[in-house]
Structure 1
Amino acid sequence: MGIATLLGRPQGFFIPYRYAAHVRQAETSRPDSEIARRFAAKEPAFAAWLAALAPFAAEFARIGTAPPPAPRWEQDWFPRLDGAMAWAMVAIHKPAQIIEIGSGHSTRFLAHAAARHSPATEITTIDPAPRAKLAGLPITRLTMRLQDALRDKTAPLFEELGPGDILFIDSSHILMPGTDVDLLLNQIVPVLAEGVLVHVHDIFLPDPYPAAWHWRGYNEQQALAPLILCGAFDPLFSSHYVQSRMSAALAQSAACTLPLPAGAYETSLWLRKTATPL
């Protein structure tokens, strides 16, 4: 990839930084960091969402018995807490619209939860290469990059999302000029109405990304932290925080008995926009 990029066929971003050797990768995981304190203050809200899973326990028990495109727990792309909370958010909020950036196993959970609890929900996915079979789901699929969908004006109107609607993000996780994360955070998120629910996947706040993922260069969550800390978004639920710091509450929830593949990361972050759109 490095050689291809040097030869003019970009395969990534290679950034010179003379102080790179002195960067502390785990700096954001300090227990006294502001984002850690903010999440700690939200533990009662996180626990309330865990309790909200209880009415769906019987439905969760049946997941995994049907062939694709039905959802299943035995996968590590969108496991246990992520799938259960996506189901509950749809069932409880009954959104009129869900726009999903990236698609796959999460789409299966969203679509089946909507079919059971909110059949009027319209789901649109934007993804050039879905990582799970979605044929047969009642969704609108735009098989293209977000950048192209916005340029061609084939993307849905994000400013039309209303309170309780969902913008579901599982993107490249890389914030650089022109990437999907850049467009999402600097063009799309600012026009969202107050009350829109925003989901972002692969978020480990207040911890850093796993050491095993360092080579990927993910930096999306560094951009999310200030949006939370400035009050523009209210954290509703964090799978990683609950799994890593709220074991007692998790053990009493309907999620505790669900299958979780070894080594799977639970990383859904659910936010509610609290600021008015620009």
Structure 2
Amino acid sequence: MPVPPLSVPLSTRLRYLAMGLRTVVGGRPGGFFIPYRHADSVGHAAPAEYPAAAAAFERAADGFREVLAAIDDHAEALLTIPDSAPPPSPRWGQLWFPGLDAAAAYALVRRHRPARIVEVGAGHSTRFLARARLDGDIAADHRCIDPRPRAALDGLPVRWVREVLAVDHLPLFTALEAGDIAFFDASHILMPGTDVDIILNRILPSLRPGVLVHFHDIFLPDPYPASWAWRGYNEQAAVAALVANRALDPVFASRYALTRMQARQRSAALAAIPVPCPDRESSLWVRVPRA
């Protein structure tokens, strides 16, 4: 298990230490330890960019610009959302679903008017999706699968499934049709049996063409931030392969739009939206292609 740096709060570091010790001594697992005798070479081999994903995003750049234009089209509604607000209202002053991620989600819901939304990992994103539905008079069946959301869902027009994602939830996704949304902000850890394993190998193959899929904490075409190495995330390497091999059609990528398209400088709405930590915006939207 990666070790949290000193910049991480002491309580978090101690908790991770306890989880790691339980794991390596054979107690109740608190994570994953994978012996690999060449592990000391991996840091030097980490990519500076995923070039095939970058090429896929470049091909999709016109569509990305359409999403940015849709954000500006909804500037008035977006800018009524305050920096701080009591639950269950959305607010810009939070780190978990900031700035461009929230604005893009809002604009895409208004644009596609989904009949169904299934969200894995809920909280601040749920509040923005619900606001888009409210403002657009969109009567969607919105389900949230999360045993413990980061932000309270009470008072939102959603159906909350207080469970960890499991294969038993597959029928919720097979019911989605073109324009509906499968929204994932899960553990970001791809290991046999994890939620990411279920998402990539059970849910995605079952989705109908035209379904919109969202992944959060995807920094493609860049690697994960170096400061996040201790988290052990590995989801985006698998997602990069799906995008590069055209198994998923890119719709929008926050990281690419900000770093390669100067999105914040080109959008009056984005320039006016407060962002507590600009390097955290990391939504990836894709569409299930037609066979």
Contact kept? 1:87, 1:109, Cα under 8 Å? yes
Structure 1 unpaired stretches of 5+: none
Q: Which amino acid aligns with 1:126?
A: I
Question: Structure 1 residue 24: deviation in Å?
Answer: 3.9
Partner of 2:9: none
Q: Alignment partner of 1:15: what SS?
A: coil
Higher mean C-alpha displacement, 231-240 vs 166-175: 231-240
Q: Which amino acid aligns with 1:176?
A: M
Question: Structure 1 residue 116: deviation in Å?
Answer: 1.6
Alignment CA distance shift 1:164-1:188 (3 Å): same
Partner of 1:42: 60
Contact kept? 1:232, 1:274, Cα under 8 Å? yes
Q: Distance in 2 between matches of 1:132 and 1:264?
A: 21
From 216, 219, 222, the counterpart of 1:201: 216
Question: Structure 1 residue 56: deviation in Å?
Answer: 0.9
Structure 2 unpaired stretches of 5+: 1-18
Q: Which amino acid aligns with 2:77?
A: E
1:10 aligned onto 2:36: no
The superposition leaves residues 73-124 of structure 1 with CA deviations (integer Å, 9 ceiling, x where unpaired) of: 0111000100101100110100000000000000000011111214311100
1:267 aligned onto 2:288: no
Partner of 1:114: 133
Partner of 1:250: 264
Partner of 1:211: 226
Q: Alignment partner of 1:270: what SS?
A: strand
Alignment CA distance shift 1:79-1:86 (3 Å): same
From 213, 235, 258, the counterpart of 1:220: 235
1:170 aligned onto 2:185: yes
Partner of 2:200: 185
Contact kept? 1:97, 1:165, Cα under 8 Å? yes
Q: Alignment partner of 1:29: what SS?
A: coil
Q: Distance in 2 between matches of 1:24 and 1:235?
A: 28
Contact kept? 1:238, 1:269, Cα under 8 Å? yes
Contact kept? 2:101, 2:281, Cα under 8 Å? yes
Alignment CA distance shift 1:110-1:16 (3 Å): same
1:94 aligned onto 2:113: yes
Question: Structure 1 residue 257: deviation in Å?
Answer: 1.2
What is the TM-score normalised by the length of structure 2?
A: 0.88
Contact kept? 1:232, 1:275, Cα under 8 Å? no
Partner of 2:10: none
The superposition leaves residues 222-265 of structure 1 with CA deviations (integer Å, 9 ceiling, x where unpaired) of: 11112112212110110111112221x43121212100003550
Q: Which amino acid aligns with 1:202?
A: D
Alignment CA distance shift 1:185-1:123 (3 Å): same
Partner of 2:4: none
Partner of 1:229: 244
Q: Distance in 1 between matches of 2:282 and 2:55?
A: 18
Q: Which amino acid aligns with 2:68?
A: L
Q: Distance in 2 between matches of 1:273 and 1:78?
A: 23
Q: Distance in 1 between matches of 2:289 and 2:249?
A: 6
Partner of 1:78: 97
Q: Distance in 1 between matches of 2:223 and 2:38?
A: 19
Contact kept? 2:114, 2:138, Cα under 8 Å? no
Q: Aligned pairs, how many? A: 270
Partner of 1:51: 69
**What is the correspondence of 1:142-181 to structure 2 with a 5 Å cutoff?**
142-147=161-166, 150-151=167-168, 156-181=171-196
Partner of 2:41: 22
Partner of 2:15: none
Higher mean C-alpha displacement, 93-102 vs 2-11: 2-11
Q: Distance in 1 between matches of 2:244 and 2:40?
A: 28
Contact kept? 1:171, 1:181, Cα under 8 Å? yes
